[in-house]
Amino acid sequence: MDDDTRDDRMAFRFDCGATWLNLLATSGRTFSTHPVERLATPERLAEWFDRCELAPARPPGPHDLAEARRLREILRPLALATVDGDPPPPGPAADLAALLAAHPDPVHLLTRHRLLREPPTTPTAALARIARQAVDHLTGPERHDLAVCGEHDCRAVFTNPTGRRRWCPSPACASRGRVRALRARRKAETAAE
Ligand SMILES: [Zn+2]
């Protein structure tokens, strides 16, 4: 059963609770046999950066697109391990450390009508900023508020400060999960009769 349209599936999600979590969500149904790649082109990455207020001075090209997807798949296993209380997988942890070391990101503040950070000059700098945000989140006390979507093919990581959500904020996951729970309950009731 899949009634979401292609446009819905390709739409970016900004509801996971942090920019780096929304980067993870640029891949949909990641653990299914047909994952949805929402960062399909450099132009889509440019659009995503823009919507995250991280538009770099130089627009992204194909190499940057590959780097964005690479960072996403470095962060994903580290986030899942953190939520599950497991040790970080060594490969991604080493990759992340190397990336941070290669791309220092000093904070230059601009004070105009509001407090601003100087925009990233390159797509790589924008990604380095997201990597640092992920590290701060995963190593600080906010990590306790992270949760994983209960849909096995989704496993999106999202902030769940109340601890009450069983599914990520995607309406598709909650509805699929509820339908399955209802079916299971009916089956159990039929079996008991
Ligand atoms: Zn989900």
Mean pLDDT of 51-63: 97
51 C-alpha to center of ligand 1: Å? Answer: 21
Task: Note the pLDDT tens digit of each residue in 70-114.
Answer: 999 999 999 999 999 999 999 999 999 999 999 998 899 998 899
Q: What is the pLDDT of residue 117?
A: 93
174 C-alpha to center of ligand 1: Å? Answer: 7
162 C-alpha to center of ligand 1: Å? Answer: 17
* Residue 44 belongs to domain with CATH number: 1.10.3300.10
Question: What contacts 148, CB < 8 A, 6 or more positions away?
Answer: 80, 83, 84, 155, 156, 157
For residue 2, pLDDT over 50 is answered with no
Tell me if 1 is assigned to some domain: no
Residue entry with tokens 């991280």: 54
118 C-alpha to center of ligand 1: Å? Answer: 33
* Residue 112: how many other CB atoms lie within 10 Å: 6
Tell me if 108 is assigned to some domain: yes
Structural contact between residues 163 and 143, judged by C-beta atoms closer than 8 angstroms: no
Q: What mean pLDDT is reported for the chain?
A: 94
Q: What is the pLDDT of residue 4?
A: 56
159 C-alpha to center of ligand 1: Å? Answer: 12
For residue 1, pLDDT over 50 is answered with no
183 C-alpha to center of ligand 1: Å? Answer: 19
27 C-alpha to center of ligand 1: Å? Answer: 11
Structural domain tally of the chain?
1
Mean pLDDT of 153-158: 96
47 C-alpha to center of ligand 1: Å? Answer: 23
Distance, CA of 75 to CA of 157 (rounded, Å): 11
Distance, CA of 25 to CA of 12 (rounded, Å): 8
Mean pLDDT of 151-179: 93
143 C-alpha to center of ligand 1: Å? Answer: 18
For residue 7, pLDDT over 80 is answered with no
For residue 3, pLDDT over 70 is answered with no
Domain coverage including residue 157: 6-192
Q: How confident is the model at residue 58 (pLDDT cuts 50, 70, 90)?
A: very high
Backbone angles phi, psi at 169, to 5 degrees: -70, -5
101 C-alpha to center of ligand 1: Å? Answer: 32
181 C-alpha to center of ligand 1: Å? Answer: 15
72 C-alpha to center of ligand 1: Å? Answer: 16
Tell me if 20 is assigned to some domain: yes
94 C-alpha to center of ligand 1: Å? Answer: 28
Mean pLDDT of 25-39: 96
Classify 146 as helix, strand or coil: strand
R_g of the chain, CA atoms, integer Å: 18
Selected residue with higher pLDDT from 123 and 172: 123
